[in-house]
Amino acid sequence: MIASTTAPLNAVVPLRIGPVVVDPPVLQAPMAGYTNYAFRQVVREFGGAGLLATEMIAARSATWLETHRGEHPDRLWGVREEPRPLAVQMWDNDPENLAQVGRRLAKDFQVSVVDLNFGCPVRQVTVKAHSGSWLLRDPARVGEIVRRVVEACDGVPVTAKIRLGCAETCQTAVEVAQRIEEAGASCLTVHGRVAAQFFSGHADWEAITAVKRSVSRLPIVGNGDIDSAETAVARLRESGVDGVMIARESLSKPWIFAQTAALLRGEPKPPDPSLAEQYELVLHHYDLVCQRFGTERGTLLMRKFACSYAQGLPGAREFRGRVSRVLSQAEFLEVMRTSFPSQAPPLSCQENTK
């Protein structure tokens, strides 16, 4: 059942990840290829996310971190300067590599939270590198990794993100969560699917609740299929988790965190931005991307973000077809001007109504 949206939710308290207060306990999920500085900036401007996260970085690039002191790779764009709290996520299967990069992120980059990925289902990470969700079949190794990284980060909280297991027949989340708790992690996010599902089916929130019940002090953040502010509030209230994390829906609605935060304060949900405001938002996002990557690369990168923003809007199909082929700034702006879903009805309709 969906919770009432106007009653104050006294039961919802900020999430504590070590010394970091996550208020409200609504987190922006890490998404490779998407949650870069520009996207995080947009989320931050709307407000409402208690903790933001980067894309995952490969800890094998530890060598790169050592040899390129002072340089920022694309995936750490903005990380040094931007406001806190901010979590940086990394993946690998080697405790020493992860400890080395974790220490660097904690000390030199002064991130608020170092997050470990044990949920990625992508072949390149699992089959090829025996990392991400591959490690869910080996709870002892997950525990060993967490312990090493906690030691290395020396007081900066370490968190982990998992799925329910590798496959339906290998649901290890409860055992993995217990190992993660024993190893000294400060929070665990559980995506309610097994890796073999990728994104099919539904997130199993009862299984997330079971993980929550299996640990004693480790805060648990639930994740999966939150598609509105109302759903976020309902999951938070009904599943017993300490926080909720939103991924895909925020790509088309980065204001979902602000709406959720308002509901949690017992206030009415702010309306979605108007189409004119959404148009301006896409241009603002494009500007941030181009400032970093230049207009040529920035335009190519912006195609997928523009497609996400159009999701669910009238005329989205035509817009996506066009914007996903743009090659230059001029083309991007032309497609925005002529086919981004607009509030004004097309001219022919206006004429017909006269």
29 vs 52 by CB, closer to ligand FMN = 29
223 binds ligand FMN (CB under 6 A): yes
Active site residue 170: no
Does 89 sit near ligand FMN (CB under 6 A)?
A: yes
Position among 161, 237, 285, 322 found at the interface with ligand FMN (CB under 6 A): 161
The closest of 245, 243, 186, 182 to 214, measured between CA atoms, is 182
37 part of the interface to ligand FMN, by CB under 6 A: no
Considering only 117, 209, 231, 278, the residue that binds ligand FMN (CB under 6 A) is 117
- Tell me whether residue 146 or residue 279 sits nearer to ligand FMN (CB atom): 146
Q: For residues 176 and 139, what is the distance between their CA atoms, to the nearest angstrom?
A: 5
Considering only residues 24, 30, 165, 298, which one is a binding residue for ligand FMN as defined by CB under 6 A?
30
- Contact positions with ligand FMN (CB under 6 A) in 121-160: none
Contacts of 341 (CB under 8 A, 6+ apart): 275, 278, 310, 313, 314, 315, 316, 319
DSSP, res 98: H
Q: In the window 243-262, what residues touch ligand FMN (CB under 6 A)?
A: 246-249
Report the alpha-carbon distance of residue 188 to residue 115 in Å, rounded.
Answer: 9
Of 24, 85, 102, 119, which one interacts with ligand FMN (CB under 6 A)? 119
Distance CA 162, CA 172 (A): 10
Catalytic residue of the set 120, 166, 187, 290: 120
Q: What is the CA radius of gyration of the chain?
A: 21
Site string for ligand FMN, 189-218 (x = CB under 6 A): --x---------------------------
Any residues with CB less than 8 A from the CB of 138 and at least 6 apart, and which?
none
Is the torsion defined by CA of 162, 164, 165, 171 positive or negative? positive
Which of positions 47-86 make contact with ligand FMN (CB under 6 A)?
Answer: 55-56
Measured from the CB atom, the residue of 29 and 301 that comes closer to ligand FMN is 29
Reading phi first (left if > 0) and then psi (alpha if -120 to 50, else beta), residue 19 is in alpha
Tokens matching residue 188: 């665990």
Which residues participate in catalysis according to the annotation? 120
Which residue ranges make up the site for ligand FMN (CB under 6 A)? 29-34, 55-56, 89, 117, 119-120, 161, 191, 223-226, 246-249
